[in-house]
Structure 1
C-alpha cells in the first residue's frame, strides 16, 4: 500500500493540473486513513491468532472455549471493517470522492446539449 501510494503521489506531482488542484494532499489523507483502518481491523486478528497458537497445548474447559470462540468470531467480523470502512473513510477525507459518489448516486450528469438561438 505504501509503495503504490508513493508512486501515485509522484505521478500526481508530474501531472500539472492535479498538482494545481492539490490532489496530492487529499491522496495523502486518504492513504493515512486507509493505513490506520488496516491497522485497526487486522492487528486484533493477528493477536487472536497468536493467542490461539500459544494456548493450543493447554487443557481448556467449556466456558473458556466458548469465550475464545466468541472472541475469534468478533475478530473475524472486525476484519470486514476494512472493506466497508474504506468507503466511508474516503467520503470523510476527500471532497473529490464525495462529489463523485454524489454524481453517481444522484444521477447528476451534465448534459452536453446545445440550445440554438431562435
Structure 2
C-alpha cells in the first residue's frame, strides 16, 4: 500500500512539472488559437509529446497488456480448469482486445491531426483554417470517445457484462427505489393517551 502511495505521488509530481512549460511557452492568438512560441518546446511537442506520450505510448502499453491477457487465457485453456471459468476468461480477453483496437482507431486521428496542425501552422486561407478546425474538433471528439466508449464496447462484447449491468441498473435500482417509496408512504398509527368519556 505504501508503494502505491509513493508511486501515485511521484507520477502526480512528474505530470504537474510536465504541465508547467505549457503555461510558460504557449499563448493565444486571434487567428490560430493556441500557439507555442518557444522553438525548443515546439520541437518537444512535435517530436515527443504528440507522437510518443499521446500516441504511441498508450497504444503500445494497451497492446502489450492485451497480448499478455491473450497469452494468459491461452495458458489457462491448456490447464484443467472448469469450463465456466474458461468462458469468463475468454470473454475478458475479447473485451480487452476489442478495447485495444478501439483505442488505436480513436487516438490515431487526433495525434496525426495535432502533429500536422502544429508542424504546418502558417498563413493559409480562411477556408483552409476552417477545415482544419473542423477536422481538429472531429479528431478531438474521437479522442474523448475513446474514454467514454469503453462501457459500450464491454456491453456489446460480453454477455456476462450485460447481465451484470442489467442486474446493477435494473434490479438494484428497483429495490432501492421501491424500498424508499414504501418507507415514504407508510401509515403509522398515532399513539394516543387514554380518552375519557368527558372528552366527548
Is TM-score (shorter-chain normalized) higher than 0.5?
Answer: yes
Query: TM-score w.r.t. structure 1 length?
Result: 0.74
Alpha-carbon contact 1:102-1:108 (below 8 Å) kept: no
Larger relative contact order (Cα-Cα within 8 Å, sequence gap ≥ 6): 1
| Aligned residues between the structures | 108
The one of 117, 123, 126 aligned to 1:52: 117
Query: TM-score w.r.t. structure 2 length?
Result: 0.46
Whose Rg is larger?
A: 2
Distance 1:19 1:106, change over 3 A: closer
Distance 1:30 1:7, change over 3 A: closer
Alpha-carbon contact 2:70-2:93 (below 8 Å) kept: no
Aligned to 1:23: 88
Aligned to 1:41: 106
Q: CA deviation at 1:53?
A: 2.5
Aligned to 1:87: 151
Give the alignment's Cα RMSD to 1 decimal: 2.8
Q: CA deviation at 1:108?
A: 5.4
Could you tell me which runs of 5 or more consecutive residues in structure 2 were left unpaired when the two chains were aligned: 1-61, 174-200
Aligned to 2:10: none
Q: CA deviation at 1:39?
A: 0.9
Alpha-carbon contact 1:9-1:27 (below 8 Å) kept: no
Aligned to 2:171: 107
Aligned to 2:133: 69
Q: CA deviation at 1:61?
A: 1.6
